[in-house]
Amino acid sequence: MAGAVGLASSLLSVEGPIGGSASYLVDGRRTYIDLLTRGLKYIGAIPEHFPYSFHDLHAKVTKDFGGVRRLSVTGYMNSEGIQYDDSTANSRMLFDWGNAALAAHYRDRVGTGAFLDATVGHSRFANDFLGLDDLNWPPVDTLIAGGGHMTEDRADVQVTWHTTRGTVTASGPVIRFEGDHDYGWSEIPEILTPLTFRAVQWRVGTFANMARPLGRSWSTRAGIRAGHFPGLASTLSPFAELSYDGSGWTARVSAARSHQAIASLRNEESIGASFLAYDPMAPVERGPVPRNTEISVGWEGTRGASRLRLDAYARKMDHLRLPPLVGDPFREITLGEPSLRLLGSGTARGVEASWSWARGLVSTVGTYRWSRVTRTVGELTFVPRFHRAHEVEFGAALETGSSTWSARFSLRSGQPVTPLLAVIPAGSHLSGADRYSRGVVILGGAYNAGRLPRYLRVDLGWRRGNEATRQGGRSVAPFVSATNLFSAPNVLAGEVRFARRSSDDSPARVERSYLPQMPMLVFFGLEFRF
């Protein structure tokens, strides 16, 4: 048994044998973010609490029949959500989502040089919205109501042959995907508009891959995937890679193409996408199907206690389903009707570097990523709102006696934003809800041509007990951690707001308001093993 009990979450894992040839593993988690932030609000540390909770359960049973023959069955389910009840405002918001999955895998030998892997699986994701302006039922005024689910069923038989000239793999997957989304009412158009959508898409295909050494440290892999989407399209997706193994280093170059017949309902340009922890998917109802083409080059080397890996890639995405742009992330619809999506395209290219070093009681690991991403809808080519051009991560750990100290540093460039060029007079004919902004027009620059402030985060941690004591035997180890040590705002978006006028004839006062992420949080708890 192993687990931890902490201020923000608890987890427990139990594993062991079943007889002499079978074993089991069960583990689960539960977070207390809702209780923690409620307490922080009570003492005045934060203005509002965040009523979010998460729990999951995972179980696996494995049966060995001797040799390579093995059967395993795995199940998983989780549930998370936000349940906000503000009785003073007489309103309630319920926002729940979760996964459930079950899979079985069987492995056996076929003849003298081949292995068979057979897999079947089912997964289901569901989500629900319910926002009420009145706590009575039926509600007098419903702000938002609806939900949806996605299911996937798949079966795959794969055979692998090991020969003197290389390794050959062949498989025949069959996949069924269903998307069922029904949002019947919404008075919050910034989140979603009413939509009802249900579609099923099958995918039947074959895949063949061969890996073969070429001599003098060269080797190659190549394969092709043939896919058939009934009533939609038939596709071919090739793959090829050439690699070289040197003394302490390896290098490779590869090219691949892939297709899929599902697309996201989420609009990444909406501010609501920053708070939606999942990606609702729906089958593509007409061709052409989305396509991805990628070329990559990589190098990896080790020397003593150091390791360095470099990767560069260029990617082209065609036939994407993208929503038409409004231009303001606070007014973009987060979830939208699939039939209103436009055919678009995208590109991505970048360089990624990762390294690690360890000596004695000190270990470090780090990454740097540079990328350039674009999307094209109609005649407009733009940098998407989620993009960060530069990202640096660095982590270090130091063992002193029976304690381990750790630190993590993260620095990322700001996300794109449409720059504010001017606020100019525009008459005084507006009234009602527009009286605060009356008399001005906001002029913005090129879409997403500006940048929000950069992202900076520093985390520190301390744990009693080092890696050697955690690997076996009984142990109880306290831990303490602090996230976002200096409470950096790390803004998600910027919004132009108008301050309240002192009179109808006074000019509007314009303010730039930023939406921040979480403040500094401190966690503590106990980790145990026996």
Three-class DSSP labels, 191-238:
CECCEEEEEEEEEEEEEEEEEEEEECCEEEEEEEEEEEECCCEEEEEE
The pLDDT value given to residue 225: 96
pLDDT score recorded for residue 278: 83
Helix (H, G, I), strand (E, B) or coil at 339: helix
- Per-residue pLDDT reduced to its tens digit, 434-464: 444 445 677 788 899 999 999 999 999 999 8
Based on the number of CB atoms within 10 Å of its own CB, is 404 exposed (0-12), middle (13-18) or buried (19 or more)? buried
CA atoms within 13 A on the CB side of 201: 22
HEC profile of 400-417: ECCEEEEEEEEEECCCEE
Among residues 343, 306, 351, 298, the alpha carbon closest in space to that of 324 is found at 343
- Cα dist from 409 to 24, 350, 461, whole Å: 38, 21, 12
**What is the predicted pLDDT for the residue at 495?**
73
Query: Given the DSSP bridges, would you call strands 390-400 and 362-377 parallel, antiparallel or unpaired?
Result: antiparallel
Q: How far apart are CA 483 and CA 458, in angstroms?
A: 7
| DSSP letters for 267-334 | -TTSGGGGT--S--EEE--SSSPPEEEEEEEEEEEEETTEEEEEEEEEEEEEEEEEPPP-S-TTTS-S
Give the model's pLDDT for residue 426: 62
Phi, psi for 337 (deg, rounded to 5): -65, 125
CB atoms within 10 A of CB 269: 26
pLDDT of the residue at 88:
47
Pairing of strands 342-359, 249-259: unpaired
As a whole number of angstroms, the distance between CA 391 and CA 373 comes to 14
Q: Give the pLDDT of residue 192.
A: 64
User: Among 39, 12, 8, which residue's Cα sits nearest to residue 25?
Assistant: 12
CA-nearest of 171, 302, 292, 174 to 224 is 171
Listed by start position, the domains of the chain span 391-530
d(CA 307, CA 423): 53
Report the alpha-carbon distance of residue 88 to residue 465 in Å, rounded: 47
- What's the sign of the alpha-carbon dihedral 420, 423, 429, 435? positive
Q: Cβ-count burial of 127 within 10 angstroms (0-12 exposed, 13-18 middle, 19+ buried)? A: buried
DSSP 8-state symbol, 335: B
| Dihedral of the alpha carbons of 511, 512, 513, 515, in degrees to the nearest 10 | 170
Instruction: Work out the burial of residue 326: count CB atoms within 10 Å of its CB; fewer than 13 is exposed, 13-18 middle, 19 or more buried.
Output: middle
Predicted local distance difference test score (pLDDT) of residue 478: 92
Identify the burial level of 164 via C-beta atoms within 10 angstroms of its C-beta, where 0-12 means exposed, 13-18 middle and 19 or more buried. exposed
Q: Is the peptide bond before 138 cis (omega within 30 degrees of 0)?
A: yes
Residues 418, 423, 425, 429, CA torsion sign:
positive
Report pLDDT for 468: 52
| Per-residue model confidence (pLDDT) at position 427 | 54
Q: Spell out the per-residue pLDDT of the chain, length 530, in tens.
A: 999 998 888 999 999 999 889 999 999 999 888 887 778 778 877 777 778 889 999 999 999 999 899 999 999 999 998 876 654 455 566 788 999 999 999 999 998 889 999 999 999 999 887 665 554 544 445 556 778 899 999 999 999 999 888 999 999 999 999 999 887 665 555 556 677 889 999 999 999 999 999 988 999 999 999 999 999 999 999 999 999 999 999 999 999 999 999 999 888 998 878 877 788 899 998 889 999 999 999 999 999 999 999 999 999 999 999 988 887 787 788 887 888 889 999 999 999 999 999 998 999 999 999 999 999 998 899 999 999 999 999 999 999 888 999 999 999 999 998 888 777 766 544 444 444 444 567 778 889 999 999 999 999 999 987 555 555 568 888 999 999 998 898 988 877 766 655 555 555 566 777 888 888 888 889 988 88
pTM for this predicted structure: 0.84
In the block, which residue shows the tokens 């004919």? Answer: 429
Cα 164 to chain center, whole Å? Answer: 41
